[in-house]
Amino acid sequence: MEEIRHFLYDDKENAEIRFVSFMGDSKRYDLAIITTNKYYGKKVVLNLLGNRFAILGPDDLEDHHYLAHAYNLTEIEADELRDFLIEVV
């Protein structure tokens, strides 16, 4: 039986990846931050320890509950992460 795929897109592009590990007051963060031409200037931020990711821009960091939800963090942990991401996103 023949399998049919319906691609929405299938692109290749060069990307810049920054790997960052830092210790906050409450926990350790290991991140991969991917800069690409996709996503309208936003960055893909992967939490390597928590196996979660989000596509983030400065506007997303203004929502104080978004990081907590996206990365399954407490509000205190989300604030620590936000303090770092404000510098790089």
Domain assignment of residue 78, yes or no: yes
Residue 23 lies in a domain: yes
Query: Does the pLDDT value for residue 34 go beyond 70?
Result: yes
What does the pLDDT look like over 61-74, one tens digit per residue? 999 899 999 999 99
Given a cut of 70, is residue 60 above it in pLDDT?
yes
SS3 content of the chain, % helix, strand, coil (to 5): 30, 30, 40
Q: Which residues lie below 8 Å from residue 53, measured CB to CB, with a gap of 6+?
A: 44, 45, 46, 47, 70
Token look-up 């409450």 returns: 26
> Which domain covers residue 38, as residue numbers?
16-88
Label residue 23 by pLDDT band (50, 70, 90): very high
Average pLDDT over residues 42-67: 95
In a domain, 41, yes or no: yes
